[in-house]
Amino acid sequence: MEPTFWRVFWNKTHLDGGAGGHGCRWGGYHRGMEDRRVFLGWDGPCLPRAAAWLRARYGRENTLDLSNVIVATSANRAGRRLLELLADAPPGVASVLVPPAIVTIGHLPELLYESPGPVADDLQAALVRVHALRQAPRELVARFIVDPPEADDWQGWLLVAEDLAGLDADLAGQGVTFDTVADRAEAGLPDFIERPRWDALATLQEAYQNLLADMGLTDVHRARAAALALGQVRTQRDIVLLATLEISGTLRQMLEQVATQVTPLIHAPAQKAANFGPLGDALVEPWANHCVNIPREGIRVVDRPRDQAFQVLRELERLTLADGTLTPDQVTVGLGDEALAPMLERMLDLQGIASRSAAGRPIGQSRPVMFLAAAGRFLASERLDDLAALLRHPDLAGWLHQHQEAAAIDDWLSLLDNYISDHLQGRLAGQWLGRDSTRRNMNAVYDAVWHLAPDDHARPKPLPDWAESIALMLEKIYGQSSLQRDDADDAQLIRALTVITDALRAQRRLDPQAPTTPRLSLSQAITLTLAQLAQQALPSQAGDAAIEMLGWLELQLDDAPVLLVTGVNEGAVPQSRNADAFLPDRMRSVLGLPDNISRLARDKAMLAAMLESRPEVVFVSGRRDGDGNPLIPSRLLLDCPSDELTRRVMEYYGRESEHSQSPPLLTSGRDTFAIPMPRTPNPPITKLRVTAFADYLACPYRFYLKHVLKLGSTDDRAVELDALRYGTLAHEIMRRFGNGLLAQSHDEGAVINELTRLLDECVLESLGDEPCTAAMIQCEQLRQRLTVLGRWQAKQVAEGWRIAPTHIEQELHATIDVDGSPFTITGRIDRIDHHPQQGCYRILDYKSGDTAATPDHHHRTGPKTQRRWVDLQLPLYTLLARAAGLQGELRLGYVQLPKDPAKIGLAAAEWTAEELDEAVEEARKVIRHLRAGVFWPPALPLRDDEFSAICMDAVLDRQKRIERAGALTLAGVADGGTGGDA
């Protein structure tokens, strides 16, 4: 845009007495103000030059005394780095350091005045604001929140209060009050229709301030305003503003009152003086219209986030980090989009390259906070899944081992997984299900967990009264640990516990009788505590040289010679706030708040300094985000001459970059990932269940994993009955029915009533009286299927068929002769029906899947003339039946309970005697392979299963890996493993 437009725009919207916010950011000095700016130049990094200036200004003989100096920076990390540089004095320079007070620019105001009264801390202010919100009429709150939280939703109210506190800080930073927003917006925006909303916000803000006043408190923004109004801004110390490109209107006015003590250090040459204000802030008009042309050779365009990580590795490879000519501490990775940090850390770690995020780790990812979150959820719900989440916390194991009964359990996590999968209880009602040993063990673990919390955990108490209980819970878990500060994991744990302790101390300072102090249960107190901590981060452990990962706003003050900036896309760099719920960009401009154009000016000033002060800067931009959505290149990448602009746009939107094809470096070195080769079982397999033959026919290697090594998976993620457990429930109902008197009845109503009664009985035994919702729905679906099956069953009895109860679920054995050596097969037949008049038997297997299928469909595959056996269960049942003494004709089939009621009932197998002989011969082939130890190669299944990761089903070069492994002779592999029965 042309400068003339900006001057007109500024005269119309900003020079009408608006909070004194941005007038000087557009150029010019306050009349009579001395120019105290110091230009450090930008032909080198900022911090070393600032350290040199401080030494030259304040160094005396052998001492650098900065005790009377306040240094304000834009980021904490810059302050720490400046202190390192001051302490690391070059030879011949003052070696005794008395450090300055180093603060971020946002905390500088509190060093410039003394409040006439007590100022509420963050927790007090938040709770007062929550109280004001909860006491307000719901229709008033609904003017700015579509769906206000419920009265007891403390976390929800606290989130609303935090949003309003952020809004308050935004406005107060430029001296704007809630009750003036609507008037100023109506004057500057003809289409403004938000007055009812802002009137409601102003009413609530007044209530908040009145509550604070009633308590004899004020908040930090009002304290600053009062100090300004009363002319009480003063300090005896020198103030050094270190490359502070953004200064709020309120702080600007405060600094003007102590102007003779303020020295701005500007990271730019004196020739750029017109681009900076008297306090060193970036002026909008000069910088917004300034062209900071990033050299083409410094721009990389790739596809997805992972490709950005790969590109960083390529740049490191190009810069010879691998051979040691470039060390990690000479490289900084910039995060235009901080969501890229985890992927970048993983990629660097895979290459053995140390990295460190300056933003630190969110405290919500720390072990103590995750423990409190899990404990709070369980105390609130007493649900089995929440108990499982708590028990899975690694730090709980030590506590359980302190309880004799719980400590006696060898593997309580597997116990928990199996219990959840088997019983799917919802809310725990003090009744454990299953076998005596299971109930006893679950109760032992349950009791140990409850000893973490006081008996009155559900009774509402003032928040300060719960602080000690929360601290005691943490002490029970971590109090016995011996922590070492020089251990990275221990140090992180110590930092997390320290932050939580500080929050609990703040709670203890609250007045329990104050109306603003909430009365909560323990679980609610934990939730509020975690919400209080949510925005905090734990700094990374300082240590050996590592690549620093910094946010965009910290990059100018970094002094590494190589800078690789990722996530350089519009919306992230420069940051845009067009969709702000309260203050969209147009409204911010009218109110004199920092807006998109001022952020662009700031970022251009930063970018110019980055480019000029380093020998190597690379900017990486992505075409798509992690979900595949298209991204837009940052306008900073397109800030170039018009003849160059077309080329850059074509390159960004042109064909996919070659850098998106494959990762760098990762293919180098020895491949350590391989499918483990099977070993010949010793002793050999001599017995096999008839159901296991299908596993071998499907995949010999998976058979080995499952039946030889006895591998399997279990977890606590079940929220409904899976196919196996649904079938088990149906089988158990039919087993009990077959052993009962009504199994021989042809009374349809009586049979149906008995089946549904047995359903209720089995559900109560296995799932309890409060199963999860999904399981309840499944049980009702099974009830409908059993009703139809009852009609079929009564009809079978009327036709002369009788269930043989002596053979129901009986373990049967038979011997197959294979090449002159016997082999045992075993199995349990679900049901055998006998027809005395016809002298024949039906060997039946229950199938409860949603879709009906014939026995031949399950057992064979391929064209009609070339059917291949894939399951041998029913044919081998004939051998078990003969071994059990059944004589006469044997028929095979399924009793099906599918979703379609028309298909519930008998599905007969129509195999000939020759086909059954083929099945038995196929079993002999399998037995020969088992004896020979043939468990290779792994087959590719139709869908992922529990062994897919071991078999590398998703690996692109899987077949090559299998062929390479298969080239090894099994004779060269050491014998071992488990044999015998499988």
| pLDDT tens by residue, 380-417 | 988 888 888 898 898 988 888 887 777 777 777 778 77
Alpha-carbon distance of 248 to 240, in angstroms, equals 16
- Please say whether the beta carbons of 156 and 231 come within 8 A: no
Q: How is residue 725 written in tokens?
A: 């457990």
Q: How is residue 887 written in tokens?
A: 């004589």
pLDDT of amino acid 611: 96
Select the more confidently predicted residue: 772 or 933: 933
891-918 pLDDT per residue, tens: 999 999 999 999 999 999 999 999 999 9
pLDDT of amino acid 6: 25
> For 243, left (φ over 0), alpha (ψ -120 to 50), or beta?
left
Whether the bond into 615 is cis, omega within 30 of 0? no
Q: Mean pLDDT across the chain, nearest whole number? A: 87
Instruction: List the alpha helices (DSSP H) in 479-538.
Output: 488-508, 522-533
Kindly tell me if the per-residue pLDDT of 9 is higher than 60: no
pLDDT of amino acid 17: 33
Kindly tell me if the per-residue pLDDT of 475 is higher than 90: yes
261-274 pLDDT per residue, tens: 999 999 999 999 99
pLDDT of amino acid 957: 66
Element (H, E) at 892: strand 889-896
Measured between alpha carbons, how far is residue 769 from residues 341, 434, 721, 763, 776 in Å?
47, 13, 16, 8, 10
Average pLDDT of 759-781? 86
Q: What single DSSP character describes residue 665?
A: S
Kindly tell me if the per-residue pLDDT of 292 is higher than 90: yes
* pLDDT confidence band for 323 (50 / 70 / 90): low
Lowest mean pLDDT among 206-210, 352-356, 737-741: 352-356
Kindly tell me if the per-residue pLDDT of 759 is higher than 90: yes
Kindly tell me if the per-residue pLDDT of 725 is higher than 90: no
Place of tokens 């896309």: 569
530-577 pLDDT per residue, tens: 998 988 888 877 667 889 999 999 999 999 999 999 999 998 998 877
Kindly tell me if the per-residue pLDDT of 654 is higher than 70: yes
pLDDT of amino acid 677: 87
Residues forming beta bridges with residue 331, ordered by sequence position: 562
* pLDDT confidence band for 664 (50 / 70 / 90): low
Beta strands in 829-880 (DSSP E): 831-835, 840-847, 860-861, 868-869
CB-based contacts of 670, cutoff 8 Å, min separation 6: none
Select the more confidently predicted residue: 699 or 482: 699
pLDDT of amino acid 720: 74
Whole-model pTM: value is 0.77
Q: Give the CA-trace dihedral at 648, 653, 657, 663, to 10 degrees.
A: 110
Kindly tell me if the per-residue pLDDT of 39 is higher than 80: yes
Alpha-carbon distance of 238 to 923, in angstroms, equals 91
